[in-house]
Structure 1
Amino acid sequence: MGSHLHRLFVIILVHGAPVHPNHLREASRDHLCDDLHHQLIHHLAIPQPTQEQVYDYGLYLIGQALHRH
């Protein structure tokens, strides 16, 4: 679910120009990052990622998607 929300969030940022993008991200970050804990453990070999690492990785993925646009 989170990967779909990342794409939607990027589309909103690129085409919708929200007034407060940081507030939007903060309000939805748990949903945006709901699948990233698993990815950090199994794909990036971080055995016990903190919630801050999960959120940082979510920001990284959003940044990568924005860079592609």
Structure 2
Amino acid sequence: MIELVRSNDPVFLSWLLAALQHEGIETFVLDAYASAADGSISAIPRRVMVDDGDEPRARRVLALADELGKGAAP
């Protein structure tokens, strides 16, 4: 497994996990419980992991997130 991204943004993570699932890419989120136990200071980002073979497709989904963040239409 490879680390696709780290983030403390729950909205972004929710969108990303849904988009990856829609593409049939299995994910594993590390540090979710440590991040929640940390409270509101967000010192521990959650890490989204994907299978090595899914990395190219997952990176394309991540690139789409970047485009959407800049105001591009889906």
Q: Shorter-chain TM-score: what band?
A: 0.3 to 0.5
Q: Could you tell me the TM-score, scaled by structure 1's length?
A: 0.32
Greater strand fraction, Structure 1 or Structure 2? 2
Question: How high is the TM-score relative to the length of structure 2?
Answer: 0.30
